[in-house]
Amino acid sequence: MIVMKFGGTSVGGSEAIARTVEIIRGRLGKKPVVVVSAMTKITDLLYRIADAAASKDLRGVEENVRDLRERHIATAEQLLENDAANLLPAISRVNEICDELEHYVLAVCALGELSDRSKAKIVSNGELLSSTIICHVMNSKGIRTTWMDARKVMVTDSCYMQGEPDMSEICARVPGAVAEAYEGMDAIITQGFIASNADGVQTVLGRGGSDYSASLIGMAIDAKAIEIWTDVDGVLTADPRRVNGAKRLARLSFEEAAEMAHFGAKVLHPLTIEPAVRKNIPIYVLNSMNPSCEGTLILQSNQIEDGVKSVSFKENILVINIFSTKMINASGFLSKVFDIFSNNGVSVDLVSTSEASISVTCDSSTKNIDRVVADLSDFAKVELVRDKSQISVIGKNLVSQKDVMQRIALPMRGIRLYLISQDASHINFSFVVDRELLNETVNKIHDSLFA
């Protein structure tokens, strides 16, 4: 068996869905479990519906739910116009999902109070809608397909908007459900992103979480491969929307891919790699708009050559500079500082230290940062610096490569650096620059390394 995950643009409209169904047809011999995201922009629309409800904006709710319903019905009609046996149940299910959502959101709107639990229920509808339509299209095109409810098999904790998967429960539930759903069928389709807690209350895996769903399912069924189908030719040397001349990487190690994803490359959800590593399952990143391209193959590190693979970045980060004001020894200082980050649930990206000061970076959207600063201020002088960007050069054994450091350093002449950090396994060299210099710096470094 293999897992095939199709992202928002790969299922973003009738043409994309038709192309996707043909790609799946080409893999039927490998018994695919198909995981789909919501149609492109639909999850954003659902977030807007949730926000409108929270602010009691009844008109906003109604208009956006109408938009949601119309987009899905129009897509179903375009794809199934000559097949009433599939079109009618598809439309009826789309209406059922939208009606239920509307009732629910109107209740939230009346209260004007939106919990994470309610929000997760609202934003998960995109995957329910897309998978319903695509399932009918596959059946209409002669691929016998069962719709599997991810909420019954993907179990997380009760962190509703960013559920932490319960790996052992997922491994216990998925194989049986897949085997049952496959009986007499050519394929199974299920939803990315959505899950439930142990009590069956809906949760989601966080933005972009469908990649993670695919790799969790792959792990649970011991898939031969996990294919992530998206809208670019594979993992590239940099984000093609920001960097000119980004090139496809034919092969990457699990570690390199994980590092890239954690350090800003949106092409994969940062946690996608971990479940695949557990079972050593190769991940392919492929382009649904250009299926004949070989894409990127992600494998165990010993099969991957050393060298620089990418320049990733996070555009908007915070730097926190912490200066010890008391005479404490360095180890006591470090542990006190990191306890505060951990107690406030704040995760740190980069760290750089000297005898009596520490600089760390965090995502700008980090909650509780004010609490962290207040707690640190009890024993240290703290400086919170905003509007910075973090750039990471990633590749196996990169520092041992001849000239690499020089090629990174040369284009940086005259650019102020706020923090520099190199990890112990020599896979990641990162630094922080002013946000307004991000584009220029990333492009210069990319040119210097890859042109």
Interface pattern 7-46 for Mg ion (x via CB under 5 A):
x---------------------------------------
Q: Is 163 in the site for ligand ASP (CB under 6 A)?
A: no
Interface pattern 300-339 for ligand ADP (x via CB under 6 A):
----------x-----------------------------
The residues near 257 (Cβ < 8 Å, ≥ 6 apart) are: 235, 268, 272, 273, 283, 298
C-beta of residue 52 within 8 angstroms of C-beta of residue 60? yes
Among the residues of 112-234, which ranges form H helices? 116-123, 125-140, 150-153, 167-182, 210-220
User: 8-67: which residues touch ligand ADP (CB under 6 A)?
Assistant: 8-10, 37
Least CB distance to ligand ADP at residue 361 (A): 19
Select 36 or 80, whichever has its Cβ closest to ligand ASP: 36
Choices 63-71, 119-127, 207-215, 324-332; region in contact with Mg ion by CB under 5 A: 207-215
Select 156 or 310, whichever has its Cβ closest to ligand ADP: 310
User: 43-102: which residues touch ligand ASP (CB under 6 A)?
Assistant: 43
- Total binding residues for Mg ion by CB under 5 A? 2
- Total binding residues for ligand ASP by CB under 6 A? 12
Angle between helices 58-80 and 42-54 (to 10 degrees): 160
CA-CA-CA-CA torsion for 139, 142, 146, 150, nearest 10 degrees? -70
Q: Is 126 in the site for ligand ASP (CB under 6 A)?
A: yes
Select 49 or 235, whichever has its Cβ closest to ligand ADP: 235
Q: Is 214 in the site for ligand ADP (CB under 6 A)?
A: no
The residues near 361 (Cβ < 8 Å, ≥ 6 apart) are: 317, 318, 319, 320, 348, 349, 350, 388, 390, 419, 432
Listing DSSP states for 266-303 in one string gives TTS-TTSHHHHHHTT--EEEEETTSTTS--EEEE-GGG
46 binds, among Mg ion, ligand ASP, ligand ADP, none (CB under 5 to 8 A by kind): none
Among 192, 208, 264, 395, contact with Mg ion (rule: CB under 5 A)? 208
- End-to-end CA distance of the chain, in Å? 39
Rounded Cα–Cα distance for residues 257 and 263 (Å): 10
Rounded Cα–Cα distance for residues 236 and 246 (Å): 6
- Total binding residues for ligand ADP by CB under 6 A? 19
Nearest alpha carbon to residue 314 among 263, 261, 277: 263
Least CB distance to Mg ion at residue 137 (A): 22
According to DSSP, residue 83 is labeled -
User: 202-231: which residues touch ligand ASP (CB under 6 A)?
Assistant: 207-210
User: 232-261: which residues touch ligand ASP (CB under 6 A)?
Assistant: none
Which string of b and e fits 123-147 if b means at least 16 CB within 10 Å? bbbbbbbbbbbbbbbbbbbebebbb
Interface pattern 12-41 for ligand ASP (x via CB under 6 A):
-------------------------xx---
Using CB under 6 A, list all residues that contact ligand ADP: 7-10, 37, 208, 230-232, 235-236, 238-241, 265-267, 310
Using CB under 6 A, list all residues that contact ligand ASP: 7-8, 37-38, 43, 126, 192-193, 207-210
Using CB under 5 A, list all residues that contact Mg ion: 7, 208
